[in-house]
Amino acid sequence: MIINTGSRTDTVQYYTEWLLKRFEEGFVYSRNPLFPNKVTRYELTPELVDCVIFCSKNYEPILPDIKRITDKFNTYFHYTITAYGKDIEPNVPDIDQSIETLIKLSQIVGSERIAWRYDPILLTNKYTKMRHYKTFDYMADKLSGHIDRCIFSFVEMYQKLKTNMPEIILLTEKDKLEIVKNLGAISKRHGITIQTCATSSNYEQFGILTSGCLTPEILGRANNIKFKKLRQIGNRKNCRCVESRNIGDYDTCPNGCKYCYANQNPQIAIKNYKKHNPASPFILGEFQETDEIQQGVQQSFLVKCEQKSLF
């Protein structure tokens, strides 16, 4: 089984103490976002967790202690660094600070375990296509040699985004083709493997890979392990990633990104963050009388003879 710590909230940046404690105690409780009274317990042990996936916009808080997890578990890290400033990502470190932190992380865990996420790509009068090319080129130059690959996607125009970002300019297919052509050329110049995320479009003619961003092949190569043949069902439409279990909660990330899909609005997230108890087995809240607790099904997908020694 694969544990995902960060696709619902920035656990690394805001809940580091809680996350480390959960791995230290060896278990965590997770609420079903659709049926909150249904709670699943997952054991956080190397025998039952094939790989731990991290996704964050700021790894600085966990850097001093990250080896407490990486020394025991197979891991892979997604680090999101975009072209946007505080007007769109209010509580995210600036580009240069983020690049510096990614390089520190790479020196600790190895470049083969880190994917740089440049997403979502969106356009406004301020964040034009030319600004994306210039910023992406600057980042690629700094990050080359410190990452396994770059992953990008185009923003999804769901209803909430139309309210949160009225300034957004709709991307046309012509826009997308121009953007991928330029990102592909920039990546090639800097020796960076680049691929899409959760898209049905094929951009291989521009040097863009179309595989999932968390496949058995990617995780296996990064950790020198081998997975059994798996059915890759993904977590959303057009996603080709291996199935994982998330231990975060929606509406708990204080980053305040305007394009965020995981928060109803920033104020709810900040309010929930203030309720967080680092000693709780839940990222948010405690046990309730109406909770129905079940043990998670944790089946290893690894070919055991290929698994690396943890000692």
Q: Torsion over CA of 143, 145, 149 and 150, rounded to 10 degrees?
A: 20
- Residue that wins the pLDDT comparison between 280 and 264: 280
DSSP 8-class letter at 280:
S
Which pLDDT belongs to residue 201?
86
Which pLDDT belongs to residue 162?
80
pLDDT band of 237, cuts 50, 70, 90: low
Alpha-carbon span 234 to 210, nearest angstrom: 14
Section 273-283 average pLDDT: 97
Over 50: is that where the pLDDT of 311 sits? no
Q: Are strands 149-154 and 2-4 parallel, antiparallel or unpaired?
A: unpaired
Read off the tokens for 205. 């003619």
Section 239-254 average pLDDT: 89
Alpha-carbon span 182 to 190, nearest angstrom: 13
CB atoms within 10 A of CB 264: 11
What tens digit of pLDDT does each residue of 100-139 get? 999 999 999 999 999 999 999 999 999 999 999 999 999 9
Q: Phi first, then psi: give them for residue 261, nearest 5 degrees.
A: -90, -15
What tens digit of pLDDT does each residue of 129-153 get? 999 999 999 999 999 999 999 999 9
pLDDT band of 210, cuts 50, 70, 90: confident
